[in-house]
Homo-oligomer: A and B are copies of this chain.
């Protein structure tokens, strides 16, 4: 497990909490469906003080799912998966993860009760498949469609449909231990990023606790760039934003706080 510590302005060592996302689904890898869970989870995690460090997209394949989940569990504090927990034959996430962890798949009595309550007399064997969990699992509430998500310690098995995924995450609001969230601020500038690359590098070098990213764009017939600064200390973030704006303006660049 990755347990990096960062030096903050007040000198305390803060533990950085990390996460990975494993997106499961041929529909994503074939280009048929555009993933929408990565960006949502990233922002949700940041509010919890947890950093999304890696994402893997794997096929509906037992070995591929298992390998990705095990690799991510070994490297990060929390691991989330999306996709492959529905009622059809191509939904193999539970079986793949159970196999990878070396535990049996068992019916979860509470999940079965939830599904029976949701479907009433429309309950079928296929729907009851969604009550199968790796042994030892807890459930994640699904306020949208009943079929619950699954928690196994620091592993969270969620649906692929964004609305359902987001409902499951709401149930986890404030429940996962994290550290300080990463704050961000943007500077917009009407300049080619390559024109100010040296200046940016100098400011980055002098302020290693604030991470500076450069994102160029072309709009209204001219080029510009947004510089996004990220830090955990709000005072340091504010100070470096001010000094970068000042440096850009001193260089003759039309730069303002806030994203263009």
Q: Which residues of A contact B (CB under 8 A)?
A: 26-36, 38-43, 46, 52-60, 64, 86-90, 124-127, 129-130, 161, 182, 184, 193-195, 197-198, 200-201, 204-205, 211-216, 228, 230
Partner of A200, one of B30, B31, B88, B184: B88
A213 and B213 CA atoms in complex are apart in Å by 39
State whether A54 touches B52 (Cβ < 8 A). no
- State whether A129 and B26 are in contact (beta carbons under 8 Å apart), knowing that A54-B59, A213-B90 are contacts in the complex: no
Partner of A194, one of B29, B38, B124: B124
User: A-side binding surface: helix, strand, loop or mixed?
Assistant: mixed
CB distance from A69 to the nearest CB of B (A): 13
CB distance from A66 to the nearest CB of B (A): 13
CB-CB < 8 A to A58: which residues of B?
54
User: How many chain copies?
Assistant: 2
Taking each of A26, A126, A230, which has the highest tally of chain B beta carbons within 10 Å of its own beta carbon? A126
CB-CB < 8 A to A30: which residues of B?
42-43, 46, 52, 182, 184, 230
- State whether A31 and B43 are in contact (beta carbons under 8 Å apart), knowing that A86-B214, A213-B90 are contacts in the complex: yes
A30 and B43 CA atoms in complex are apart in Å by 7
Taking each of A33, A90, A198, A205, which has the highest tally of chain B beta carbons within 10 Å of its own beta carbon? A90
Partner of A29, one of B28, B40, B42, B126: B42
State whether A59 touches B53 (Cβ < 8 A). yes
